[in-house]
Every structure is written in C-alpha cells, then in structure tokens.
C-alpha cells in the first residue's frame, strides 16, 4: 500500500509523572469509543503495564513508540498502519513532556503531532496558564489543548480555562475517590482488578468533554509505505513462551517479530505448574512479577523439572528480568529452578532503570531495564549492555550453557537477526 492517510492524533503529556496521564488517556480512549470512534492508543517509551490498561480502555492492541528503542522508521510504520484502521490515535507520553533523550516532545515534533497537556489542577487555578504556556514554548511544541485532572467543580474549571489565554480547555476530570492501584513496578495489572471495566466506564462518564474543541482539532498526515517482510530466520522453530501473572511483561512486537521470522509460539504457565511444551526448540521467559508468586513457583515441580531438562538438553532459553529471577537459586529465600547460581533479593529503591543496548555481531539490540531487585552471583557476565545515552556499562548478561539471562528487556524488532541467534541452537 502506498499513498497517505490523515487522522486525528494527540500526544497526551504532562509536566511530570504523577499528573494522571494514564488515567486521562484511558478515560479519553473509552469516552471516544463510546462516541462510536475507532481508537488506537500507543505508549511512549519502555512500558508493559500502562499499555494493558489502555488496551482495555480502547479495545485495540497498544504498541510502543520511542525514537531510540523502536526507531523513527518503525514508529512511522506503526502510526501509518494505525491511521488506516482508526478515527483517532492517542499517544501517551512518558514522564514529563521534555524528559528523556529522546523525549515525548521529540516524538511529537518528529511526526508533527499536537500535544494535549494533562495538568493536575488539584492545587492550582490561574497558574495553570503559566504552566501550560511554559510547556508549549520551551520546546516548542504545538499545543492542541489541555485536559485538567482532579478538578473540584465547574467554578474551578472556569478559572483554569480563563488562565489559558487562547489554549483550549479540552476536557476536565474530577478528583477520583480512589486512585488506580499501584505496586513497585507501576499499576496493578488490569487482569488483577475486579472492577477494571466499571472503573473505565466511570472515568469515561466523568470526563467532561468539549465536543466543539474536539471537532476543531486538525488531522496529521502519514505516508503509507510497503511493508518489509522479515527474513525467515526462525522458520520451522517452535518457541515456548511463559505467559501468566508472573511472566506478563511482553512487548506485543516481540511476539510479532518471532512469528514474522517464521516461529510458531506455544504458551504455557509456570504458575499453573505447566511444563515446557514437549518438542519446543527454544524457550522465552519474559519479565513480570515472579517475586509476588515466589512461593507458588517454588512448589511448581513439573515446571522446574521441565526447564531443567530443556537446559540439560541444550535448548536455547532466553530469560529477561523476571524470567531470570525464576531461574536463580533463590528468590526472596524461596528456592527457584537453580539454573543461574545465586540469590535475588528485593529492595525498596530502584536497582536499575533506563534505556540500554546490547552490542551483537548482528547489530545493536535495543531495550531497557527497570527492576527493584538485585542478583548476587559468582557468575562472570558474558557481556554487558550499554546505557543510553551516556554509554556507561549497563546490565550484566549471563550465559550458562544454552541459557541467556539478564535484567535487560530487549525490544526484538530493533535487531531481529540478533534475536534469531539467541533462539537458535
């Protein structure tokens, strides 16, 4: 397909984390769906949990956009494809609008996308205008409008609107009696929330929406380019993928990359004590929350025996972050599979965060790290990732026989050939 397509696109950002970007983006997505719009949502930067909530809100898969990790070309391709399927594209920014290298503002400017600023108005009124104008002018970016979060009532909203000096107050959301539940890596997984649908419906209903402001929004044009197929480097391979509440941190694009190279995927649940599927040519253990399920995993003897047998047989195993944590000697004193000698302990402060890349013979495999645990081991790292953008040493990458294990979360589309090599005997 060639040509171009025009679609309404907004990058939803804020001055900092904690302003309510995810809540507002979810509310806006659900509100637009209820108005009959086809909505696609993307998330800036490295994130697994927010996209799960945004997928529930929009009813469509949520992709990742990042000018470094994903790359300009693949970001453009994803946006263009979404534009052919949607009336509206929402992009939730990461941290503050100008935080990071590259930042959410860099992404907006790269594709000519207007910014919708979310402000926490709970402790301000007229100062909102100064804040929003500063966000607009610092870059600068094109400011489409403002969504005021945690608004006390119509009078408060009117004061905020009057302060904006020509910038539209697009919508308001009142203070919520209960915040979205969180834990150490972010929001509680939507699958664990009994009332997630009711929550999304309430947010959409309480979002006071300016239909005239919406209709005034311009569209953004994206060029449509022919898709480039991946080389069939994993043709005929069957890859077992752990997938349950303990192993839930997966970029959908990673799975698409594996299948795009010809692999067949078979899912199994270590938490349910399911063994590695028989006949698997490789095993993928993504990140997640094994620390919350360590007691259950320690008793999952069929799972433990099967992963040990796969390792003894030389089956390639790729274990990322939580996947690695399930293979150590002990996790928070609970015995694990023991393929990586050592102990993992949790701590209250972050042990690692940020974008990283792994140099390989096939090119740089890009990704990120984000964890609150530390591994103590006598193993010598086979290599280390490189932090972006400063080039400092990043996470250790361990090689134990056919096992590759690290805290590093790889974004597979950034270097498919390197990924195929990891999953090949």
Q: Of 141, 146, 186, 188, nearest to 166 (Cα)?
A: 146
Are 170 and 210 in contact by the 8 Å Cβ rule? The answer is yes
Residue 425: exposure state from Cβ atoms within 10 A (0-12, 13-18, ≥19): exposed
User: What is the three-class DSSP state of 327?
Assistant: coil
Are 33 and 59 in contact by the 8 Å Cβ rule? The answer is yes
The pair of structure tokens assigned to 133 is 């104008």
Strands 238-242, 220-224: pairing kind: unpaired
Cβ neighbors of 39 (< 8 A, separation 6 or more) are 29, 32, 33, 58, 59, 60, 86, 87, 88, 89, 90
Is 321 an annotated catalytic residue? yes
The pair of structure tokens assigned to 329 is 């000697």
Burial letters 361-392, b for 16+ CB under 10 A, else e: eeebbbbbbbbbbebebeeeeeebbbbbeeee
Strands 282-285, 238-242: pairing kind: parallel
Catalytic entry in 44, 75, 321, 415? 321
State the catalytic residues. Answer: 321
């Amino acid at each position: 397909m060639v040509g171009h397509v025009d679609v309404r696109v907004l990058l939803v950002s804020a001055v900092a984390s904690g302003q309510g970007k995810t809540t507002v983006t979810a509310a806006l997505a659900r509100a637009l769906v209820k108005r009959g719009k086809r909505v696609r949502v993307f998330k800036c930067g490295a994130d697994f949990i927010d996209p799960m909530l945004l997928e529930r809100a929009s009813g469509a898969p949520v992709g990742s956009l990042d000018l470094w990790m994903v790359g300009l070309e693949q970001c453009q391709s994803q946006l263009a494809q979404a534009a052919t399927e949607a009336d509206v594209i929402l992009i939730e920014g990461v941290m503050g609008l100008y935080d990071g290298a590259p930042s959410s503002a860099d992404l907006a400017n790269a594709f000519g996308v207007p910014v919708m600023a979310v402000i926490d108005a709970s402790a301000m009124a007229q100062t909102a205008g100064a804040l929003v104008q500063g966000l607009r002018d610092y870059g600068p970016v094109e400011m489409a409008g403002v969504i005021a979060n945690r608004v006390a009532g119509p009078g408060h909203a009117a004061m905020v609107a009057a302060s904006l000096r020509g910038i539209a107050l697009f919508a308001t959301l009142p203070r919520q009696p209960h915040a979205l539940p969180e834990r150490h890596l972010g929001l509680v997984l939507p699958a664990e929330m009994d009332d997630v649908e009711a929550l999304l419906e309430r947010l959409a209903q309480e979002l006071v929406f300016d239909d005239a402001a919406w209709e005034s929004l311009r569209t953004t044009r994206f060029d449509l380019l022919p898709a480039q197929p991946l080389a069939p480097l994993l043709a005929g391979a069957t890859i077992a993928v752990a997938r349950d509440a303990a192993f839930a941190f997966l970029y959908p694009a990673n799975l698409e990359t594996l299948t795009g190279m010809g692999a067949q995927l078979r899912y199994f649940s270590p938490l349910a004590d399911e063994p590695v599927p028989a006949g698997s040519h490789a095993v993928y253990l993504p990140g997640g929350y094994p620390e919350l399920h360590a007691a259950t995993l320690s008793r999952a003897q069929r799972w433990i025996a099967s992963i040990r047998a796969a390792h003894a047989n030389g089956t390639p195993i790729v274990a990322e972050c939580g996947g690695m944590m399930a293979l150590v000697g002990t996790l928070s004193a609970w015995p694990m599979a023991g393929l990586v000698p050592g102990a993992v302990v949790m701590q209250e402060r972050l042990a690692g965060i940020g974008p990283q890349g792994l140099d390989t013979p096939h090119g740089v495999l890009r990704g990120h790290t984000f964890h609150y645990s530390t591994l103590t081991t006598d193993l010598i790292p086979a290599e280390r990732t490189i932090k972006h953008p400063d080039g400092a040493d990043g996470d250790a990458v361990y090689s134990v026989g056919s096992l590759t294990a690290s805290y590093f979360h790889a974004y597979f589309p950034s270097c498919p050939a390197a990924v195929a090599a990891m999953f090949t005997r």
